[in-house]
Chain A
Amino acid sequence: MAIIKTEHLEYIYSQNTPFEKAAVCDVNIEIEQNDFVGIIGHTGSGKSTLVQHLNGLLRPTSGKLYVDGEDVWEQPKEIRRLRFKVGLVFQYPEYQLFDETVEKDIGFGPRNMGLSEEEVRQRVYDAARQVRLSESLLKKSPFDLSGGEKRRAAIAGVLAMQPKVLVLDEPTAGLDPLGRDTILDEIAQYRAEHQTTVLLVSHSMEDVAKVANKVLVMNKGKVAMYDTVDRVYSRGEELEQIGLNVPAVTKIFMGLRRNNLPVGAGVFSMDQAQRELVALFEQRGRLKK
């Protein structure tokens, strides 16, 4: 059974006013337990609007959303439970840190879930370890941390609720390459340990290629593609038409195919590209040993 399922999900901003604008329309997707879905699309494509539905921040103007088999808007008063099931990390989450200490900030979510103090403490320490924040930082004010540490503390605040579905809206924006790779690694590791379902909104098709197993491409409020990573990346020309930045390796392979080299489509990682080209040159006897 799919953990998330939408049926004709639609969201119209300022409905019944002259400013009415459909941000998301007719979205029908199913996301399976433990999937890692990259969500790409340029600004205004509807990706952030879509993910804000998943934990009930937005209520669809029409259509249905099922999480864990339940129609989440059947009992609107129960929507709070959904917030613990689906954790949403916003863009620049470090701006949302607010408490006196890092420990209290991370513990805010679990405490609201009504867990015992002992359990809250355990959750805080586990989450901090997961994002590689050292224990010595927990007693500090979140405002004394470095930018990268703040970002990780904010993510830990959502992990501490141990949501079944983790949604991250551009978690690596503004970080340097090392900070970016660290956060992506931590998310992948968390998913492996907790069998969590992860949705990652990103402008970087390179990042998505590194971690995701499925890709959802949004364009003009609609789902343009939803498939495995290699099938989506094999449609390079279409992706470029939508205005997306296809990874350079994918572009190189598109060019090689145009030049009649017998290489596959849908190459998106450096390892894959190297393997395929080395095999090809070996076959042709052009490999120096």
Chain B
Amino acid sequence: MQPMIQVQNVCFSYKGDDEERVQILQDFNLEIQQGSFVAVLGHNGSGKSTLARLLNALYQPDAGRVLVNGVDTGDEEQVFAVRRSVGLVFQNPDNQLVASIVEEDVAFGPENLGIAPDEIRRRVDDALQAVDMYEYRTHETHKLSGGQKQRIAIAGILAMQPDCIVFDEPTAMLDPRGRKEVMDIILKLNREMGKTIVLITHYMDEAAQAQRVVVMDNGRIIADDTPRIVFSKVGLLKSVGLDVPQPAELSDRLRKAGIPLRDHVLTVEECISAITDCYFGG
């Protein structure tokens, strides 16, 4: 099957304060399969957000190429096709809403694609239902909570019917309740609607819900595997300034202190049962 996204030997730099080029990505390669859910981790400045912007032709690589459904993002005639295939959701919910009424905001994308009015109506309703905000369709956007605003931003992307949605720290500015609302929607988009998801996040509990975790540092990939395997590399993650989910870190520490716990403990429940089994076991 055609991969959703292929990043091939990409270099990217920008001009810094003193006119010097700052190299962000160097010979970077990544392939993302259709329908998968990939989390990308890395501290600020590791190149994550640059990667997100390369995926829907907001940025163009200095060298190498990015393919979306096999289409080169550097092909100027295909830019709209690329943007329709890959939607981007950003961190700050307040910066992404353009209209004052919920349904008008969601309609903005499809309107710009030149879609017929009754088709727009259908897409807006479907998108709002998908993010559980249908009953808010005539509400004013500025009166919504952060989590609700972010869900409206997601609906706006869904209305363009992309195959893939890239989220750049979508929950960083939300409270715990808002975070959970948005994470539930992201999981639903992937599992029930088959959307390919790329989730950039600082929250390890969110990354732990993905199928695959890619860890970036200094514009390179330093780990790429299932969450269970990646989060067992406690020392590596700490060395690049990242958190490790507490159950994984605690079991790693206990193992090092001589308690023979089983490997690859990721969740609270797994940690409780691993410690209990080890304590009462033979």
Contacts and interface: CB of A to CB of B under 8 A. Distances in A.
B144 to A, nearest CB: 13
Interface in A128-147: 146-147
A176 B177 CA distance: 19
A252 B172 contact: no
Interface string A267-289: 00010011001101100101111
A248 B245 contact: yes
A287 B202 CA distance: 35
Given A252-B268, A270-B249, A273-B250, A289 B258 contact: yes
A248 B279 contact: no
Nearest to B204: A177
Given A255-B272, A261-B279, A288 B254 contact: no
B176 interface: yes
B21 interface: no
A43 interface: yes
Given A148-B44, A287-B258, A288-B260, A42 B175 contact: yes
Contacts of B91: 174
Interface of B: 43-44, 91, 145, 169, 172-173, 175-178, 202, 241-243, 245-247, 249-250, 253-254, 257-260, 268-269, 271-272, 275-276, 278-279
A288 B254 CA distance: 11
Given A42-B176, A179-B44, A203-B175, A252 B259 contact: no
Nearest to A170: B175
A43 B175 contact: yes
23 contacts: A42-B175, A43-B175, A147-B44, A173-B172, A174-B169, A203-B175, A206-B246, A243-B177, A248-B247, A248-B268, A249-B246, A252-B250, A252-B272, A255-B268, A255-B276, A270-B246, A270-B249, A277-B259, A278-B257, A281-B278, A286-B260, A286-B279, A287-B258
Contact of B276 (A148, A261, A286): A261
B272 to A, nearest CB: 3
A178 B268 contact: no
Highest count of chain B CB atoms <10 Å: which of A174, A245, A278? A174
A182 B175 CA distance: 21
A247 interface: yes
A145 to B, nearest CB: 11
B259 A256 contact: no
B23 to A, nearest CB: 17
Nearest to B237: A177
Interface of A: 42-43, 146-148, 173-179, 203, 206, 243, 245, 247-249, 251-252, 255-256, 259, 261, 270, 273-274, 277-278, 280-281, 284, 286-289
Contacts of B249: 270
A42 B254 contact: no
A281 B271 contact: no
B247 A252 contact: yes
B183 to A, nearest CB: 13
B177 A42 contact: yes
A206 B202 CA distance: 15
A235 to B, nearest CB: 18
Contact of B241 (A177, A245, A274): A177
Highest count of chain B CB atoms <10 Å: which of A43, A173, A245? A43
Given A247-B246, A273-B250, A176 B43 contact: yes
Nearest to B253: A274
Given A245-B176, A261-B279, 9 more contacts: A173-B173, A176-B202, A251-B268, A252-B275, A255-B269, A255-B276, A274-B257, A277-B259, A286-B278
A128 B278 CA distance: 50
B211 to A, nearest CB: 21
Q: Which 6 A-B residue pairings sit nearest by Cβ, starting from the closest?
A: A255-B272, A248-B246, A178-B241, A288-B258, A174-B172, A259-B276
A177 B202 contact: yes
Highest count of chain A CB atoms <10 Å: which of B172, B178, B258? B258
Contacts of A273: 250
A176 B176 contact: no
Given A252-B271, A256-B275, A177 B242 contact: yes
Contacts of B279: 261, 280-281, 284, 286
Contacts of A288: 258-260
A178 B275 contact: no
A286 B249 CA distance: 20
A153 B181 CA distance: 32
Contacts of B246: 206, 247-249, 252, 270
A219 to B, nearest CB: 14
Contact of A174 (B173, B259, B272, B278): B173
Nearest to A288: B258
